[in-house]
Structure 1
Amino acid sequence: MGGIPDGTEHLTLERVGATLVLTLNRPEARNALSLPMLAALHDGWLLADADDGIRSVVLTGAGGAFCSGMDLKALAGRPATGPDDPVRERFRADPDLHWKAMLRHHRPRKPVIAAVEGPCVAGGTEILQGTDIRIAGSGATFGLYEVRRGLFPLGGSTVRLPRQIPRTHALEMLLTGRPYTAAEAHRIGLVGHVVPDGTALERALETAELVNANAPLAVEAVKACVLDTEGLPETEALALELERGHAVLGTADAKEGALAFAEKRPPVYRRA
């Protein structure tokens, strides 16, 4: 796969052109989050950040499911696989590792596109809030079920969700713990597109190609500016936008974009 590691039995990594596809791979458990999956997911985000040849990331799930949340059996105290388990050692060494994997304490610099089929609930809906573009199959389901189980959605939902969708919808989702259909998730703005079942990944890869065709420095600066200005007063936010924007306008890629337009040819961006 051209330098892309195989991942683990709980996550697969594949390079499709300039896109890294991360696939949650526990279909027998509806891709519930396990420690090996989280560790490999964290590694996938770091790989995407480090490899300039990767311009976008698609996150999806195997077997017709996105993610059904944390493995509750493990959460309830299922015995460890052994004292020398290297995965558990990683989590002991970095107690923040699972939050980084779930995009609570890590923000990938490349655009992340979610391709959702089937259940995307609890921790699945929480990871979803860390993605940038969201495409769902028509049969996908969403929801934050934590309050139904006496739990708290610690993956960032009490902070992020009211910033991403209208407050009344965010609080309804958080406080009722009820499931949402893909159509309803689209109506309230949680996902951007609903497509026929089984085609979310195809649509996500098509969207990734549109992103990949653009100047990578500009794409990454736009994403960073949107996130960095959230919650700032407008004057401060606009000042930061000017700073970020002028830096992009001074790049060789910006000159190449204008030249290619004038010469009526596709631009060749070199991240410079």
Structure 2
Amino acid sequence: MGGTEHLTVQREGATLVLTLNRPEARNALSLPMLVGLHDGWLEADADDSVRSIVFTGAGGSFCSGMDLKALAGNGMAGEEYRDRLKADPDLHWKAMLRHHRPRKPVIAAVEGYCVAGGTEMLQGTDIRVAAESATFGLFEVKRGLFPIGGSTVRLQRQIPRTHALEMLLTGRPYSAREAAAIGLVGHVVPDGTALDKALEIAERINACGPLAVEAVKASVYETAEMTEQDGLAAELTRGWPVFDTADAKEGTRAFAEKRPPVYKRA
């Protein structure tokens, strides 16, 4: 199991938990963190025993955005991390879920600050849980910068455009309740319980057929920008093969026998 000094990787049953671990900097992104995230996403993809991923932050914050000094490797990251970035100049975008979509469902558990790069990474997750006092926002324009982590493309596809533009153009903070009201997050829970709720959702996903879950996720994303006619055709291409799997037969048999199914990814 991987990880770095700024990114921890743990298993909770069939769930892989990736935790941003730089609490003294409100989990500002660093090169060790990005390398750890990149490797964590790939580990989850490669391990068939992993059925879901929970993405969270340590110390009461999710992520406060990019740490440019750390990204440049000035006195914080070891040579091996700088070598990784040189070997794959796209590594940081994959780590931030801009240029990579894990095939397993990703559930975000947000406490505290989830701003700038934090809100950008959030848009690459599938299901989102926020603690009551969590804070969201894209602050880049206030600093004369551009939210280049994908927000000008993704945000308007995930929430109504008027809310997306207000968030992008004002750079103001949003409370968890406000984020839920505009559809950026799906659950608001008491402080300190976001991870518990995310793991609860993950456990429900883990109890489902893994081939079906992955096919459903893939279908949702690949048809999002299609016409309805093209999307329905693509859905059949994804969906029909699932019915021919041993897992599909096990699911229906278990239902008839009134017992929990035992899925084997077959």
TM-score interval, smaller chain: over 0.9
Q: What residue is the counterpart of 2:148 in the other structure? A: 154
SS of aligned partner of 2:56 = strand
How many Å separate the matches in 1 of 2:76 and 2:107?
Answer: 33
| Change in 2 beyond 3 A, CA 1:209/1:78 | closer
How many Å separate the matches in 1 of 2:187 and 2:112?
Answer: 15
The one of 50, 74, 86 equivalent to 1:79 is 74
CA RMSD of aligned residues (A): 1.2
How many Å separate the matches in 1 of 2:175 and 2:76?
Answer: 37
Structure 1 length-normalised TM: 0.95
- Structure 1 residue 81: Cα displacement: 5.5
Q: For residues 84-233 of structure 1, what are the structure 2 equivalents within 5 Å? A: 85-233=79-227
Q: Which amino acid aligns with 2:18?
A: L
SS of aligned partner of 2:119 = helix
- Structure 1 residue 74: Cα displacement: 3.8
How many Å separate the matches in 2 of 1:17 and 1:198?
Answer: 21
| Change in 2 beyond 3 A, CA 1:81/1:187 | closer
Q: What residue is the counterpart of 2:23 in the other structure? A: 27
Q: Which amino acid aligns with 2:157?
A: R
Q: What residue is the counterpart of 2:53 in the other structure? A: 57
- In the alignment, structure 2 segments of 5+ residues that lack a partner are none
The one of 2, 5, 8 equivalent to 2:4 is 8
| Change in 2 beyond 3 A, CA 1:74/1:12 | closer
Q: What residue is the counterpart of 1:66 in the other structure? A: 62
How many Å separate the matches in 1 of 2:84 and 2:254?
Answer: 47
- Structure 1 residue 72: Cα displacement: 3.7
Aligned length: 266
Structure 2 length-normalised TM: 0.98
Q: What residue is the counterpart of 1:18 in the other structure? A: 14
- Structure 1 residue 250: Cα displacement: 1.1
**Is contact 2:26–2:62 with CA below 8 Å preserved after alignment?**
yes
- In the alignment, structure 1 segments of 5+ residues that lack a partner are none
Any idea what the Cα deviations from partners look like across 1:65-122, whole Å, max 9, x if unmatched? 00000014446x673568x711011111111000000000000000000000000000
SS of aligned partner of 1:86 = helix
SS of aligned partner of 1:120 = strand
How many Å separate the matches in 1 of 2:204 and 2:74?
Answer: 46
- Structure 1 residue 34: Cα displacement: 0.1
**Is contact 2:31–2:73 with CA below 8 Å preserved after alignment?**
no
Q: Which amino acid aligns with 2:233?
A: A
